[in-house]
A and B are shown apart, each in its own frame.
Chain A
Amino acid sequence: MARRAGAPEVSAGSMADIAFLLLIFFLVTTTIETDAGLDRMLPPMEPPEDDVVIKQKNIFQVLINKNGQLLVDDELTDLKALRLKAMDFLDNNGDGTCTFCKGKKNPESSDNPSKAIISLKNDRETKYSTYITVQNELVGAYNDLRDREAQRLFGRDFVEMEATYLDQQTPPSEKEKLKEKVKQIQDLFPQKLSEAETSSNN
């Protein structure tokens, strides 16, 4: 009777080669996606029926020329100073109705955050990167103010709260709780950023 030696061992020597093959396949066919950015809403095509009259002092005008220079409320401004200027404007509380604002109550600036509008206008030859930097600073101004209020009311940052709220992995029960808080903070400083059509003159 023949002696059984068991099944012969399978050689694992080529395992590395097979794995390398797979690795190279994945390296070639996939990319690392960039999946984050600045969210914006465009205005609808039809203008609203009733023309709203907005006081000049409630508008914070930002103009970008083709060289990337900024004109903020008729004043040449450095890009680095834009965020503070925008925050001052939003937080100004000119008519004293805003109970949480810490602004200077300058009568020449905005009445209260819900009335304050930032208007952004750029040239056709403005570089995209400059435009993104300006957008980033304006969104940053809103986020900084919202963070401040969120810290005061809930003891955590608004940006982090919103990120958790939008995350798909957050359980629905927690989302429901966050939804109200996020909405509340958003209402304190509503994001009113209007973009005019670009101009082609210099």
Chain B
Amino acid sequence: MSKFSKKKSGDIPAVSTASLPDIVFMLLFFFMTVTVMKDNSLKVENVLPNANEIKKLDKKDRVIYIYVGKPSKEYEKVFGTEPKIQLNDKFSGPSDVGSYILQERAKKHQDLQNFLTTSLKVDKNASMGLISDIKLELRKVNALKVNYTTYEGDAFRNLQ
């Protein structure tokens, strides 16, 4: 009788994991195609507002990014809770924007220097005072093409 009981223990075959690599590779390729490398870590809260009449940004090498928002949790103690500007990896005041733009512009290829766009990534809870200061600085260094970067969505959701 031991013959039968032995067979029973190995009754359910193991689930085949032969296709596991394929599934993981599929996920890997998905993430490789839809994402881009991080170039700087965000130190500010950055929930963008929604808009629906939007245009795509230019190629990445023609864009200069400026982040605005209130400092994130770990920086709150040092920098307070008022919205701040983040240029590259550090917090700055509006007066640094001009020199930052000039410096970034000088880094780009000469042919592209006249076609640069400044992308303003501003948290939706920031106030316009700071943005106006930035815009004034941008006008001073003749960086007139700006893009208020937003998520795609219904603009009226911003008001809630």
Contacts and interface: CB of A to CB of B under 8 A. Distances in A.
Interface in B21-77: 21, 24-25, 27-28, 31-32, 34-38, 48-57, 59-60
Given A127-B124, A127-B127, A198-B128, A163 B56 contact: yes
Contact of A143 (B53, B124, B132): B53
Contact of B35 (A15, A30, A197, A200): A30
Contact of B57 (A27, A37, A128): A37
B51 A132 contact: yes
A157 interface: no
B131 A128 contact: yes
Contacts of B143: 42
A163 B55 contact: yes
Contacts of A166: 55-56
Interface residues of B, number: 60
A123 B57 CA distance: 28
B54 A38 contact: yes
Contacts of B125: 127-129
A137 B127 CA distance: 19
B10 interface: no
Contact of B20 (A16, A125, A126, A133): A16
B55 to A, nearest CB: 5
A168 B59 contact: yes
A19 interface: yes
A122 B123 CA distance: 17
Interface of A: 12, 15-16, 19-20, 22-23, 26-27, 29-45, 68, 79-80, 122-133, 135-137, 139-140, 143, 159, 162-163, 166-168, 197-198, 200
Q: List the 9 closest pairs (A to B, CB-CB), nearest first.
A: A124-B129, A30-B35, A129-B158, A37-B149, A129-B124, A19-B24, A15-B21, A136-B155, A136-B51
